[in-house]
Amino acid sequence: MTHYETMPAHGYYKEKYRPHLHFTPEQMWMNDPNGLVYFEGEYHLFYQYHPYSTQWGPMHWGHAVSRDLVTWEHLPVALHPDEQGMIFSGSAVVDHEDTTGFFDGGKGLVAVYTSADGDLQRQSIAYSKDRGRTWAKYDGNPVLENPGIADFRDPKVFWHSSSSRWVMVLAAGKQVQLFTSENLKQWTFASSFGEGWGEQKGTWECPDLFPMINEKTGVEEWVLMIGIDAGGPCGGSGTQYFTGVFDGSAFFPDQQQDEVKWLDFGKDFYAAQSFSDLRDRRVIIAWMSNWQYANDVPTYPWRSAMTLPRELMLTKVSGKSVLKQMPVADSIQSMDNSAPGSGVQLLPGSPHIQSQPDAPFVWKITLELQADSHVEGTVFHTGEGGYRFGVEKGRAYVVRDECVPAFSDHYAAVCTADIAGSLDEVTLTVVCDFSSVEMFVNTGEIGMTNLYFPQTGLSHLMKLESIKGYAAVKDMVIDQRPSIWAENHS
């Protein structure tokens, strides 16, 4: 990979706003995670990548691998544009039984992606016999022609054991279409879902369909995740989901047609995808940006980051099936068992203020609240301003003020979400990196993910205060995290 001729003077992977807990490309543009798959001890992360600009352009598949979902190794670009067009989003699977005939009776990786030639979008495949290090495109591409739909892309493929065949869920305008195949090469239309369902303001993209066991009922249910490029919970991009039943051919939701379930209530959580072939758990990664301003965020020489990998849990809340999510344990587990601030009593006008450690860090807070309590926290505080978050009246919220200098009219945001059940005790896990804040309420009942570009060169403070009513800090840990890049890029 060729670097800029003039790299920042303060060093590779030490640039201003460079995340140190989150995956970023070495340089240039990145968007959707693609081809997430676990194979022979490695987690593969492919991603939409433009290697010649920090803005969206001719799409390739960038590539990285990890053995622990925390530290990542950059690998060469996996898929390049060809005569079929650019390489748009898609998925990767392990062909255990060599249904494709690519692996001489063994097993290997198959990527299923969209070939995009102008407005023509078709589905193609490629395969790897060497653990994803090199790829060969199938001579018979495309394997699924376009039936005349403008937005016909982002195939997510999985093996459906009950019917012993492959299933593809594909974004098709403001709905999804499902196809089946015996060999990943010939596909048969099975059904469609989504017309008039859920949030319809934006185009549907990057679907994912998978089973989960509900932790409350012990019953298997199916989850269908969908990215939408407009109409999200905090403006612009967002990720909604449906729960229901999949019979091998069609998806049947268990919710009302106009009900919208958001996977994350922040402004920068899009195109979430789950890892294929990962047994007994469902782990996702999302693109941490928003199409309202993704091309303009003030980072250099790269643009865009991924969220932390998150483990999904399916549960019941007020009789409805809902997803919870928390970062995988290794990325936020405590390195320091001390609890500074535990036992603090919060009253209006008497904030608890302390020095903020250098990013990245995790702030874990357990609050005991009264019915009328309103508690607010601030990170990257400089005496005024900062990134604010809080709980009040059955809701959680975050407030992101305009960036200085400003780069988008859409950046400033107030994001809110209702908290289910009693507010007597609330836990907040706030993960702060150099240019993002991810907050999780009550062990993942609510997630709020936002980019944040603080003022640099200043000493930052952390503040916790009661805006109204009495509250007590039952437990609090501030845990500074090591850089995931330090060993490789010191």
The identity of residue 123, as a single letter, is: Q
Half-sphere exposure of 281 (CA within 13 A, CB side): 12
- Concatenate the DSSP letters of all residues of 246-280 into one string: E-SS-EEESS-TT--EES--SSS-EEEEE-BT-TT
How far apart, in Å, are the Cα atoms of 39 and each of 42, 48, 157? 5, 20, 16
Query: Phi then psi for 429, rounded to 5 degrees?
Result: -120, 115
Contacts of 294 (CB under 8 A, 6+ apart): 31, 56, 303, 304
* DSSP secondary structure code for residue 295 in this structure: G
Residue 309: is the preceding peptide bond cis (ω within 30°)? no
Query: What element of type H or E holds 330?
Result: helix 329-332
Strand bridging mode 28-39 / 302-303: parallel
What count of other Cβ atoms lies within 10 Å of the Cβ of residue 133? 13
* Short-list 474, 475, 462, 234, CA closest to 368: 474
Q: Which residue has the tokens 């357990």?
A: 366
Contact 69, 43 (CB under 8 A): yes
Can you tell me the distance from the alpha carbon of 438 to that of 173, in angstroms, rounded to the nearest whole number?
A: 30
Beta bridge partners of 321: 316
The identity of residue 328, as a single letter, is: V
Beta bridge partners of 255: none
Contacts of 304 (CB under 8 A, 6+ apart): 24, 25, 29, 30, 31, 287, 288, 289, 294, 297
**Helices and strands counted in the chain (H then E):** 1, 34
The residues annotated as belonging to the active site are 32
